[in-house]
A and B are shown apart, each in its own frame.
Chain A
Amino acid sequence: MSDLLYGEIEDDLRAGVRSLLDDTCGWADVLAGTETDAPHAAAPWDGLVAMGVTALPVPEDAGGAGASWRETSVVMEELGRAVAPVPFLGAAVLGTAALLAAGAADVLADGPAVLAVPLSTAPGDPVPDVRADGGALTGVVTSVADAAVARTLLVPADGALYAVDGSAARITHVTSLDMTRRLADVALDGAPARRIGGADAVTAALTTGAALLAAEQLGLAERCLELTIAHLKTRYQFGRPIGSYQALKHRVADLWAAVSQARAVVRYAAGCVASGDADTAVAAALAQAHCSGIAVRAAEECVQMHGGIGFTWEHPAHLYLKRAKSDAIALGTAGRHRAALAELADLPPV
Chain B
Amino acid sequence: MSTAPPDAAEIERRVAAFLAAHDPAAVPPREFLRARYDAGLAWVHYPEGRGGLGAARAAQPAVDRAFARAGAPGNHPERNGIGLGMAAPTLLSHGTPEQLDRFLRPLWTGEEVWCQLFSEPGAGSDLAALGTRAVRDGDGWVVDGQKVWTSMAHEARWAILVARTDPAVPKHRGMTYFVCDMHAPGVDVRPLRQLTGEAEFNEVFLTGVRIPDTDRLGAVGDGWRVATATLMNERVAIGGQAAPREGGMLGVVTRLWRERPEVRTAAGHDALMRLWVEAEAARLTGERLRQRLAAGDPGPEGSAAKLAFARLNQELSGLELELLGEDGLRYDDWTMRRPTEVDFTRRSPGYRYLRAKGNSIEGGTSEILRTIVAERVLGLPGEIRTDKDVPWKDLPK
Chain B positions 250 through 272: 1 when the CB is less than 8 Å from some CB of chain A, otherwise 0:
00001001100000111001101
Report the Cα distance A265→B278, complex, angstroms: 10
A-B contact pairs, 17 of them (CB 8 A): A5-B291, A233-B379, A241-B380, A243-B374, A250-B367, A250-B371, A252-B380, A257-B301, A261-B308, A263-B288, A264-B287, A268-B284, A345-B276, A347-B258, A347-B269, A349-B269, A350-B269
Report the Cα distance A212→B280, complex, angstroms: 18
Chain B residue total in the interface (Cβ 8 A): 45
Residues of chain A in range 254-290 having any CB-CB distance to chain B below 8 Å: 254, 256-257, 260-265, 267-268, 286, 289-290
A279 to chain B, nearest CB (A): 9
Chain B positions 133 through 148: 1 when the CB is less than 8 Å from some CB of chain A, otherwise 0:
0000000000000000
Chain A residues with Cβ below 8 Å from B272 are 347
Q: A341 near B: Cβ within 8 Å?
A: yes
- The SS class assigned to the B binding surface is helix
Flag if B276 contacts A243 (CB, 8 Å).
Answer: no
A83 to chain B, nearest CB (A): 22
Q: B274 near A: Cβ within 8 Å?
A: yes
* Chain B interface (Cβ < 8 Å from any Cβ of A): 246, 254, 257-258, 264-266, 269-270, 272-274, 276-278, 280-282, 284-285, 287-288, 291-292, 295, 299, 301, 304, 307-308, 367, 369-371, 373-375, 377-384
B309 to chain A, nearest CB (A): 11
Chain B: which residue is nearest A265 at the CB level?
Answer: B281
Report the Cα distance A209→B356, complex, angstroms: 38
Chain A: which residue is nearest B299 at the CB level?
Answer: A260
- The SS class assigned to the A binding surface is helix
Chain A: which residue is nearest B273 at the CB level?
Answer: A338
Report the Cα distance A224→B94, complex, angstroms: 41
Report the Cα distance A346→B245, complex, angstroms: 13
Q: A175 near B: Cβ within 8 Å?
A: no
Flag if B285 contacts A260 (CB, 8 Å).
Answer: yes
Chain A residues with Cβ below 8 Å from B274 are 338
Most buried by B among A4, A233, A253, A346: A253
Most buried by B among A229, A346, A350: A350
Most buried by A among B281, B291, B295, B369: B281
Give the contacting residue for A264; candidates B284, B369, B375; CB below 8 A.
B284
Chain A residues with Cβ below 8 Å from B370 are 246, 249-250, 253-254
Chain A residues with Cβ below 8 Å from B282 are 261
Give the contacting residue for B378; candidates A240, A256, A289; CB below 8 A.
A256
Report the Cα distance A307→B284, complex, angstroms: 34
Chain B residues with Cβ below 8 Å from A253 are 304, 369-371, 373-374, 377-378
Kindly list 14 other residue pairs between chains A and B, CB separation below 8 angstroms, not including A261-B282, A286-B281. A229-B380, A233-B379, A240-B384, A246-B367, A249-B371, A249-B375, A253-B374, A253-B378, A261-B285, A264-B287, A290-B277, A335-B270, A347-B254, A347-B273
Chain B residues with Cβ below 8 Å from A232 are 380
Chain A residues with Cβ below 8 Å from B254 are 345, 347
Most buried by B among A240, A241, A290, A345: A345
Report the Cα distance A253→B367, complex, angstroms: 10
Q: A22 near B: Cβ within 8 Å?
A: no
Chain A residues with Cβ below 8 Å from B277 are 286, 289-290, 338, 341
Flag if B264 contacts A350 (CB, 8 Å).
Answer: yes
A262-B281 in contact given A229-B379, A250-B370 (Cβ < 8 Å): yes
Flag if B381 contacts A244 (CB, 8 Å).
Answer: yes
Chain B residues with Cβ below 8 Å from A233 are 379-381
Chain B residues with Cβ below 8 Å from A229 are 378-380
Flag if A264 contacts B288 (CB, 8 Å).
Answer: yes
Chain B residues with Cβ below 8 Å from A257 are 301, 304, 307-308, 373
Flag if B378 contacts A241 (CB, 8 Å).
Answer: no
Q: A342 near B: Cβ within 8 Å?
A: yes
Chain A: which residue is nearest B303 at the CB level?
Answer: A257
Q: A38 near B: Cβ within 8 Å?
A: no
Chain A positions 92 through 103: 1 when the CB is less than 8 Å from some CB of chain B, otherwise 0:
000000000000
Flag if A264 contacts B264 (CB, 8 Å).
Answer: no
Q: A189 near B: Cβ within 8 Å?
A: no
Flag if B374 contacts A261 (CB, 8 Å).
Answer: no
Chain A: which residue is nearest B272 at the CB level?
Answer: A347
Flag if B295 contacts A5 (CB, 8 Å).
Answer: yes
Chain A residues with Cβ below 8 Å from B285 are 260-261, 263-265
Report the Cα distance A286→B301, complex, angstroms: 20
Report the Cα distance A5→B276, complex, angstroms: 23
A238 to chain B, nearest CB (A): 11
